[in-house]
Amino acid sequence: MNLPTLESINLAASLPVLILAGWACLLTAIDLFISPERKHWTAWLAVLGLLASGVALGFEAVAYSQRGAVSAFGDMAVVDGFALFLQGVFLLSAFLGILLALNYLPRHNIERGEYYTLLLFTTSGMMLMAMAADLIVVFLALELLSLPLYVLSGFAHPRLDSEEAAMKYFLLGAFASGFLVYGIALTYGGAGTTLLSGVVEALVGGGPAPNPVLAIVGMGLILVGLGFKVAAVPFHMWTPDVYQGAPTPVTAFMSVGAKAGGFAALLRVFLIAFPATGDTWGVVIAIIAALTMILGNVVAISQSNVKRMLAYSSIAHAGYVLVAVAAARYPEVEPLAVSAAVFYLLTYAVTNLGAFAIVIALERDDGTGVEVEDFAGLAKTRPWLAIAMTLFMLSLTGIPPSAGMVGKFFVFQAAVQASVGDPLILTVTIIGVLTSVISAFYYLRIPVMMYFRDGEGQANVQPALGVALALTALATFLLGVVPAPFLQMARHALLTLAG
């Protein structure tokens, strides 16, 4: 074992994460000196941290375009295009997550500075996850991502819904990390190392490889652990209750960030460490993808609570990304499939945060007002809000001109390329297209409500929420109309072996 040197640690490469985690620690202390009626200062200080991290990320991206991927912490983390792209998505989601909460928290009497610091902690966990090149880092990042989210789900304490949501999320999340850790332990036993690049060598047969069977069982357990995090069927049971019970800004952030974080780990672990066993996990993930898309979309139809409907919708969308993951096991399709997956995560992030921003605008101070009927008449009272919501719903369905359509298109394109000689992927792709059609049924119910039904159509848009709405609506529209520059970026989001 080599002793770490300053070069191998390479602090500069992980600066975006370090800045954010460090600032979160500092902000926890600073927050103590901010009086309760000025908690929005904490929010702006948190935004400052996100900005600083974003600037560092910008420098990293420029450096990456010149010198390519570098590793940090002695090959345990890697800064490549994939990591940089997803880190950008996480920072953006966190920024929007703060904007959504800025007025929501005081309105619901739950304004505490910890919201913002916990948000920074979980974001730094997601960013670390994107660069994890060792199973230890995957585990630590996953916990750093999850633990603050458990607390955030229960943030509306003592509201019972919120407490129950936190409890369920915590118990099932901890259960899932149990599977993950045990899976990592078996992989370690089977491959002799926890480095992703070492695992692949051991499995291909180059290393000592004491026991490949152990590693494959470990891989299965890791899949279960990560499946919980991305809410894939059959590990999705917690999602509806948690999404419904958690405070809406937390739900919005969680549905986007935690899912993208889970997929970052899933893509990296399975494509870097286990390509040799692609036949096994490719089939399993393809079947999970099909089940996830079917269940998410079909059950969403019968939901009357919009938060709960969006929870099932988020399960369904995990299915579409899983299609890309399953397609990525073919080396010739991998670059396309990986960039399709990360681009899909970006489109889903802006669309879903926007949709939740509207739900927040409609939600009354007692937590009601989030039923589908509450959207009735919104087109007359708040025409712009109705237009934005229609755009988000089109995007979630995958109808142009919206981000979601471009995202789905590239996922299916990758899947079709992979389906040459693989009837299973072809079937899953067809299921994906069909379930998208089914999803139109429940997504478009909301525009129908807004435009063709009479109702009070009450909404309360405060400035920060308005900015978040404008940003997400603009992004959803632009990604749908001129996706080229962002696709170009996603094309560079390639996975690199550490070292």
Partner 1 sequence: MLNETVFLVPTSYFVILSAVLFSIGVAGVLLRRNAILIFMSVELMLNAANLAFVAFARSLLDQGGQVFVFFVMTVAAAEVAIGLALIVAIFRSKRSTDIDELNSMEG
Which one, 213 or 484, has the nearer CB to partner 1?
Answer: 213
> Which regions of 137-245 does DSSP assign to beta strands (E)?
none
- How far apart are CB 449 and partner 1 at their closest, in Å? 20
CA distances from 72 to 67, 85, 231, 317 (A): 14, 17, 30, 32
Q: Pick one of 179, 235, 253, 410: the residue that binds partner 1 (CB under 8 A).
A: 179
d(CA 492, CA 73): 23
Cα(14)–Cα(59) distance, rounded to whole angstroms?
11
- Which of 16, 74, 113, 240 contacts partner 1 by CB under 8 A? 240
Per CB under 8 A, which of residues 120..159 are in contact with partner 1?
136, 139-140, 143, 147, 150-151, 154, 157-158
Options 174, 204, 301, 437; binder of partner 1; rule CB under 8 A: 174
Smaller CB distance to partner 1: residue 165 or 341? 165
Please answer whether residues 262 and 177 qualify as being in contact, where contact means their C-beta atoms are separated by less than 8 angstroms. Answer: no
Residue 77 DSSP SS3: strand
Nearer to partner 1, 238 or 412 (CB): 238
- The contact pattern for partner 1, residues 268-307, with x = CB under 8 A and - = no contact, is -------------------------------------x--
Q: Which helix (H) or strand (E) holds 461?
A: none
Q: With contact defined as beta carbons under 8 Å apart, do 292 and 232 qualify?
A: yes
Q: How far is the CB of 1 from partner 1 (least distance, A)?
A: 7
Tokens of 242: 């948690």
# of chain residues touching partner 1 (CB under 8 A): 43
Q: Closer to partner 1 at the Cβ: 25 or 430?
A: 25
Helix axes 81-107, 15-30, angle to 10 degrees: 20
Non-local (6+) Cβ contacts of 82 within 8 A are 130, 264, 267, 268, 338, 342, 493, 494, 495, 496
Smallest separation (angstroms) from partner 1 to the CB of 341: 27
By CB under 8 A, residue 371 contacts partner 1? no
* Closer to partner 1 by Cβ: residue 214 or 424: 214
**Cis peptide preceding 158, ω within 30 of 0:** yes
Question: Which residue, 240 or 278, is less far from partner 1 as judged by CB?
Answer: 240
| Cβ-based neighbour number of residue 303 at 10 Å | 19
Distance CA 332, CA 157 (A): 50
Q: 132 has which bridge partners?
A: 77
Measured CA angle at 146 (ends 141, 150), to 5 deg: 160
Whichever of 241 and 334 has its CB closer to partner 1, that residue is 241
Q: What's the CA gap between 233 and 26, in Å, rounded? A: 39
Q: How far is the CB of 312 from partner 1 (least distance, A)?
A: 10
Instruction: Check residue 75 for interaction with partner 1 (CB under 8 A).
Output: no
Verify binding: residue 210, partner 1, rule CB under 8 A.
yes
Establish if 498 lies at the interface with partner 1 (CB under 8 A): no
Interface with partner 1, residue 171, by CB under 8 A: yes
Note whether 185 binds partner 1 by CB under 8 A: yes
Minimum distance from residue 201 beta carbon to partner 1 (Å) = 15
- Which residue's structure tokens are 């300053």? 6
Q: How far is the CB of 118 from partner 1 (least distance, A)?
A: 11
- Candidates 424, 452, 468; CA nearest to 329 is 424
- Contact flag: residue 466 with partner 1 (CB under 8 A): no
Catalog residues that contact partner 1 under the rule CB under 8 A. 1, 136, 139-140, 143, 147, 150-151, 154, 157-158, 160-161, 163-168, 170-171, 174-175, 177-179, 181-182, 184-186, 188-189, 192-194, 210, 240-241, 244-245, 305, 308
